[in-house]
Amino acid sequence: IIIGRLDADGSRFLATTTDADLMALLCDGEPLGAKITVTSTDEGNRAVLA
């Protein structure tokens, strides 16, 4: 689960991901400040590394 803040208005969001690069960053890197793209779907918000 990813908790983030939208650049546009600062509102918070929750999302999930299956993006391999984003998963690697979350597990082994420094994800704070990383730019991601979040898309709202019928199954919930989905995130990918921008």
Handedness of CA 45, 17, 21, 32 (dihedral sign): positive
> What is the predicted pLDDT for the residue at 11?
95
Count of domains observed in the chain: 1
- Tell me if residue 41 falls in helix, strand or coil: strand
CATH number of the domain enclosing 38 = 2.40.50.840
- pLDDT tens for the 50 residues of the chain, in order: 999 999 999 999 999 999 999 999 999 999 999 999 999 999 999 999 99
> What is the predicted pLDDT for the residue at 5?
93
Q: How far is CA 14 from the centre of its chain?
A: 8
Q: Which residue intervals of the chain are DSSP H helices?
A: 20-28
Contact, 16 vs 25, CB < 8 A? no
Expressed as residue numbers, the domain containing 32 is 2-49
> What is the predicted pLDDT for the residue at 16?
97
Q: Whole-prediction pTM value? A: 0.81
